[in-house]
A and B are shown apart, each in its own frame.
Chain A
């Protein structure tokens, strides 16, 4: 437990350390904002949800029992509040439709590549400016459909495990993989376009 910086900060926070609170906020603020934004109509409302979440965290400090990681606990509180604020139906997430993630016209009738991917994976770092790429990816992530954005943000930007993500979003491993696959495939496609133009 002591290796988890969040747990250490939470300990200090419980002891009344104001700076520990700001540090904890700092560590999770951006993820929370992007996560909340998937449920509510505007960034302003997302910011309110995040503030409301932290107030809830402070009031619930004594209730945290360490059964999940601090991060999972925080993000769950956030998701619950964002869902309430957005009143968005969870069932509206259609994860079962088997839409292809690569344009079918790129394959021949037998399903083999007709227009194969150009090779760029190896030279990606040399061909485009890393800062520009990260910026392009940031906006591409923001444009993903809600659930894909959440899963990609938590898994690939925040580096959470699939178990953590399923715990935060309360979705099954299978759904998580489908959403991750769609999101990542879309981002690959964006990069393909970027490299095609480079």
Chain B
């Protein structure tokens, strides 16, 4: 849908640009659309900021740490392992 919209006009507007950010970052835009997107950015400080914010969001999401296994959970997995070793085929479902 967006593709058709883009084809119809030469430039894109902010409201379209914000929906293209991920495709742009993923390298999924056609060459023509990428050129339109970049031309829009060059003329629009707000969308430039918006793109920077999306990049920042991705970077910050990457800092979300994953919870480590609690000692109790680790013990449970050791038990799981030993149970499996004692009975690799697994009758005790």
Does A80 make an interface contact (CB < 8 A)? no
A111 vs chain B, min Cβ distance (A): 3
**A30 neighbours in B (Cβ, 8 Å):** 66-68
Number of A-B contacts (CB under 8 A): 139
Among B13, B14, B18, B57, the one with the most A-chain Cβ atoms within 10 Å of its Cβ is B57
Whether B74 lies near A26 (C-beta < 8 A) is: yes
- Take A121-B53, A177-B28, A181-B19 as given contacts and tell me if A22 and B78 are in contact as well, using a CB distance cutoff of 8 Å: yes
Q: Which of A31, A152, A156, A180 contacts B66 (CB 8 A)?
A: A31
A119 and chain B: residue at smallest CB distance: B49
**B53 neighbours in A (Cβ, 8 Å):** 117, 120-121, 188, 191-192
Does B42 make an interface contact (CB < 8 A)? no
**B15 neighbours in A (Cβ, 8 Å):** 100, 102, 104, 107, 111-112
Whether A184 lies near B46 (C-beta < 8 A) is: no
A152 vs chain B, min Cβ distance (A): 7
**A98 neighbours in B (Cβ, 8 Å):** 1-2
A94 vs chain B, min Cβ distance (A): 15
**B77 neighbours in A (Cβ, 8 Å):** 21-22, 25, 51, 54
Among B14, B46, B52, B54, the one with the most A-chain Cβ atoms within 10 Å of its Cβ is B14
A124 and chain B: residue at smallest CB distance: B56
Whether B57 lies near A184 (C-beta < 8 A) is: yes
Whether A177 lies near B26 (C-beta < 8 A) is: yes
**B49 neighbours in A (Cβ, 8 Å):** 116-117, 119, 121
Q: Which of B1, B2, B21, B78 contacts A18 (CB 8 A)?
A: B78
B7 vs chain A, min Cβ distance (A): 16
B15 and chain A: residue at smallest CB distance: A111
- Take A124-B56, A162-B26 as given contacts and tell me if A26 and B69 are in contact as well, using a CB distance cutoff of 8 Å: yes
Whether B16 lies near A111 (C-beta < 8 A) is: yes
**B55 neighbours in A (Cβ, 8 Å):** 121
Does A93 make an interface contact (CB < 8 A)? no
Does A187 make an interface contact (CB < 8 A)? yes
Does A138 make an interface contact (CB < 8 A)? yes
Q: What would 15 A/B residue contacts be, using CB atoms closer than 8 Å?
A: A25-B74, A54-B77, A55-B90, A59-B84, A104-B15, A111-B13, A112-B14, A119-B49, A124-B60, A141-B61, A159-B62, A162-B26, A185-B22, A187-B57, A188-B54
Interface residues of A, Cβ cutoff 8 Å to B:
16, 18, 21-22, 25-26, 29-31, 33, 51, 54-55, 58-59, 98, 100-102, 104, 107, 110-113, 116-117, 119-122, 124, 130, 133-134, 137-138, 141, 152, 156-159, 162, 173, 177, 180-181, 184-185, 187-188, 191-192
